[in-house]
Structure 1
Amino acid sequence: MALNGKVMVTGGAGYIGSHAVLALCDAGYDVVVIDNLVTGFDWAVDPRATLVRANIEDDATVRATIRDHRVAAIMHFAGSVVVPESVSDPLKYYRNNTAATRALLESAVVEGVPHFIFSSTAATYGTPVKVPVVETDPTVPINPYGMSKLMTEAMLRDVAAAHPINYCALRYFNVAGADPQGRSGQSTIGATHLIKIAVEAATGKRDAVSVFGTDFDTPDGTGVRDYIHVSDLAAAHVSALELLIAEPAKSHTLNAGYNRGFSVNEVLDAVDRVTNLTIQRRYEGRRAGDPAALVADNSAILAALPWRPQRDDLDGIVKDALAWERKLAERG
């Protein structure tokens, strides 16, 4: 079933958003991006898409964009994503993630947009009661970042119950890697993602990688995470959109991960293998708001969507991230 209009991607100049734009354009969708370019880059937006520079709480611009481009679906990536920062500056996260999304949802309802895909997070689970976690497990966030996303999930449920809009909330685990064709990657200044930091160290941008916590209840004492390739995640968004179009009366909340975890030390071992270097590790205390392990039970997304992981190889994820980091170094 075809989409009767364009897809509006908020935060489409950012890391995950730019990959979603690539996946949508590759699949033949017409795309308009809204991004304030505070953390994103205009050059990261696929030239096949239209870029509108604006904040998502700018109701007039957002609603005019929806009308002018006949937007029939919204993929919402705009927001703040750094867990430790959310602990030190919670109001920023409730403004950028929760309040701004409320404004965006109101614009979607007023303009009659029927489909909404939301970038949620595994941080909604907090410290999971078991690993891997399933979508029905308790959601008790231990940091404001996770709570800001969980509050948005609650808004989506209520809005979908009251208005003719359906949604899919994808709870991401640890997103990593870069477009295998080298069209986009993680370009954020001061990124906090482990693989990004490690390939920065491999290319000389950092002198070491900090390992936060060595006394977790995990096999080697370092935190365990489920790392999903950003291009696989982008493909999951396209599949989710097609499900919403096909079943307009149903909404979904799905884990987006590989059902497999790696510790921080295992990830750094992979970077050492791929680069043939020994990345210096600086062991430090735990960060506020970090659970010991977060791994997705992905049986629900595999049952709901035709999506299947194509790049679930840790060394391959590192290779793509490294290739992008080297490309950034060439850009200067």
Structure 2
Amino acid sequence: MCDAGNYRARQGRSAGGSKGRLWTAAATEEQSYEYGSTKYLLLCGLGGMLSCGLTHTAIVPLDLIKCRMQVDPGKYKGILSAFGVTLRDEGLRGLARGWAPTFLGYSMQGLFKFGLYEVFKIRYAELLGVKKAYEWRTGLYLAASASAEFFADVALSPMEAVKVRVQTQPGYASTLRTAAPRMYSEEGLWAFYKGVAPLWMRQIPYTMMKFACFERTVEALYKYVVPKPQSQCTKAEQLAVTFVAGYIAGIFCAVVSHPADSVVSVLNKEKGSTAFGVLRKLGFEGVWKGLFARIIMIGTLTALQWFIYDSVKVYFKLPRPPVAQAPEESFKKQK
């Protein structure tokens, strides 16, 4: 990360100012940090931490219902009935079960997911060169997001395991303080990482879709829907585009990652289970249980995450580059 800030400067100098850059922040914008600098990347990580930690914690009730529908479809048959059963058995407080591991786990995941995405996007663009980075930009988004999520899931796995155990195993433990020590004493360190491979199966396709679909949707919205160029839009209007693109990306994310999400939920609930064993047990129909709840959850979640992340950039006056443009077109507009 320490050298990432020099990339944009080197690229600009070697190409004559801003000529040749794929993503170049508008020169008229007041900026506190250089694009790609160490401070820029750290603040992007902070934005990711806030966006993921806050949003996942806010939807804990829906996440809890979704997990219970996946692991016990006989008792929790639908969204409304599952809410009713939970309220009847545990009261209103029961809907917040698992909030602490959710907040800690997804805050760490967001730090690595968004921060490293920016790092890998810059690095891979540098390796490809400006022309190929534009032509292959979808592949670049996919590769950068997959690389970032690999590390993000290692950070998430321990708290995800605790969260699912607290939410789906009645009588086991009701808080992070009681669940984590019991898991460690009964199963050792493996209890916190046995779900990391299914997490990669769930989260890497999800994140690849989340970032690539978002980037290309933003590009399409400004090209075909928004009636004026991005440079003429206010920050509020740009944030609105961010929210819409995030929701569209979230719907696709939910569908792509749902089967693996079902496996993770059951795997972390059942002691001694394996991913392939759970997959055989659930079958094709079983892995799609709770999909509608997940679409609502992930669509809203993804839209809010991108909105918060972009808002952090606005607050700290970080460079917010326009959508990717062909290098020659970008240069012509600056002449």
Tell whether the structures are fold-level matches, with TM greater than 0.5: no
Larger proportion of helix: 2
Higher relative contact order (CA 8 A, sep 6+): 2
